[in-house]
Structure 1
Amino acid sequence: MTHQELQNSDYRIRKLIGILGLCLPFILIFAKGELLASISHYYYSTLSSLFFIIILSAFGLFLISYKGYKKDKTNETISDDLITNIGGLAALIVVFIPTRCMDSTSMAIDLICKSENYPLFGHNNMLKSGIHLGSAAVFILSMGWMSRYKFTRDVNDSNNKLYRICGLLVFISVGLIVLLIVLEKLGLDTKTMFSNYYVFIFETTAVIPFGISWLVKGKVLDDVKRLKAKFL
């Protein structure tokens, strides 16, 4: 692709998205104090729901604000801006249409479900849960797409191998979640085979790689080198 300069704000957004991706699962576990069936179930616990809403909303707004490179009409069919807009809108849908309350693996949340005293937009509706799940997949896959196909356009970038690996890990993680959910629907007891937390585990193995790739693409390594040179 032809050389293009990015605005400094785009590099800052890349770093922020990377930091959020790396921190999200660990902040939620710390806030709740226990592991739940999925990242989305932390919506139903008071403190962790605050972090969930703030971080996912920040993802959405940062992605919508991000412009990236202009589309190279010679070999690209979709622009950075369109992909991140899609991912950002999907992240906001994840916030405003949360997953269903049931099956969180938390006794405290199960009590909330039974009482139907849901917080904010909470629910126990299967259709809404399906919309949430699809939106979460679109959000994560758009991040993986950026890592695998958009960040590697510069053939001279020494980090291209890292971006490809990160993108591949995102795709594999989402694929495994879909596969195991389908197997569950077919009657296979995947919770016994892969634990009750496979969705959370594979969500984590998706968000951490895309967090790393966005951080590196945001030139965080250059920032580290500058700080090292300044103090050493």
Structure 2
Amino acid sequence: MKVDYTQDEIDSRTLKLIVGLIALFLASLTSFLTHGEIQSISESYHHDGLVRNIFVGCLFAIASFLFAYNGQEPQKEALISKIAAVSALGVALFPCKCEVMGNVCKNINEYNQIVFGIMHIISAIVMFLILARFCQIFYQRAKTKFLRDGNIMAKRRSYIYLISGITIVLSMLILILDMLIQYLPNPIILNPRLVYWCEFFGLVAFGISWLTSSKILPFMAMEHEELHILKK
């Protein structure tokens, strides 16, 4: 029996679209549902009810799609995608050190809070660094396509990937700087929600880059390249 594998059963561009949308709105949604109280997106874990379910569920969804994603160049993208998936699960399963005294927080002893907090930070940093690496890969691919074929849409995409990658890296550098400042003899609180805003811009940059790579955004792909979800 001959099996036709010419058409992908799972469209990688649709995966990018879904992941991009989740990343784009996760920060705003968690902040809205907590009435702007959270100082970190990860703090959503310590709020009972819907917001915690959304936070954990979205990270599991992103992890699932990253596990399934091998990219156009599997030798470059497959392994780091799996590492990013594990890191996303780490962010979801190891809550940050709790500053919100809710029911969930009371059930986590101080030692576990410290251990979970360290695991959470490591997972988050690894995940964001890999997402920045994806931006670099997408940028190089789009730039090569423009130089080779003169595809002006690819040139536009390359700018988006470059800006997104820089935004993610800068957000992580600011976060790391903020963490180091807290170990000074007289720590300075730069902004109570600085962590949230760094995560916000990092996730939004990630979301925009993957939406761009899905080729669903207008004026970012040639007509024959555009993603049409309901068309073959």
Q: TM-score, normalised by structure 1?
A: 0.80
Work out the CA distance in 2 between the residues paired with 1:122 and 1:27.
Answer: 29
CA offset digits 1:149-169 (Å, max 9, x no partner): 344323212210110111010
Asked if 1:195 is matched to 2:194, the reply is: no
Asked if 1:38 is matched to 2:40, the reply is: yes
Contact 1:80 1:150 in 2 (8 A): no
Work out the CA distance in 1 between the residues paired with 2:101 and 2:200.
Answer: 23
Asked if 1:217 is matched to 2:217, the reply is: no
When the two chains are superposed, the root-mean-square deviation of aligned CA atoms in Å is: 2.7
Contact 1:37 1:197 in 2 (8 A): yes
Contact 1:32 1:48 in 2 (8 A): yes
Residue 55 of structure 1: aligned partner: 58
Residue 172 of structure 1: aligned partner: 170
> For structure 1, which segment, 144-153 or 49-58, has the greater mean C-alpha deviation from structure 2 after superposition?
144-153
CA offset digits 1:14-40 (Å, max 9, x no partner): 111110111000110122222311111
Residue 74 of structure 1: aligned partner: none
Structure 2 CA distance for partners of 1:88 and 1:223, relative to 1, 3 Å: farther
Aligned pair partner of 2:106 in 109, 112, 116: 116
How many aligned residue pairs are there? 206
Residue 151 of structure 2: aligned partner: none
Contact 1:93 1:135 in 2 (8 A): yes
Work out the CA distance in 2 between the residues paired with 1:97 and 1:122.
Answer: 14
Aligned pair partner of 1:99 in 96, 99, 119: 96
1:81: Cα distance to partner? Answer: 0.9
Structure 2 CA distance for partners of 1:96 and 1:6, relative to 1, 3 Å: farther
CA offset digits 1:161-186 (Å, max 9, x no partner): 11011101000000110011001112
- Residue type matched to 1:140 in 2? F
Structure 2 CA distance for partners of 1:64 and 1:188, relative to 1, 3 Å: farther
Aligned pair partner of 1:184 in 177, 182, 185: 182
Gaps (5+ residues) in structure 1? 72-77, 103-108, 228-232
Residue 20 of structure 2: aligned partner: 18
3-state SS of the aligned residue for 2:140? coil
Q: TM-score, normalised by structure 2?
A: 0.80
Work out the CA distance in 1 between the residues paired with 2:110 and 2:65.
Answer: 25
Aligned pair partner of 2:116 in 121, 128, 141: 128
Structure 2 CA distance for partners of 1:187 and 1:204, relative to 1, 3 Å: farther
Residue 152 of structure 1: aligned partner: 140
3-state SS of the aligned residue for 2:98? coil
Structure 2 CA distance for partners of 1:10 and 1:37, relative to 1, 3 Å: same
3-state SS of the aligned residue for 1:148? helix
Work out the CA distance in 2 between the residues paired with 1:38 and 1:122.
Answer: 19
* Percent of aligned pairs sharing the same letter: 24
Work out the CA distance in 1 between the residues paired with 2:81 and 2:202.
Answer: 17
CA offset digits 1:197-228 (Å, max 9, x no partner): 1110111111101110100100112599889x
Work out the CA distance in 1 between the residues paired with 2:7 and 2:139.
Answer: 13
- Residue type matched to 1:57 in 2? F
Contact 1:148 1:165 in 2 (8 A): no
Residue 65 of structure 1: aligned partner: 68
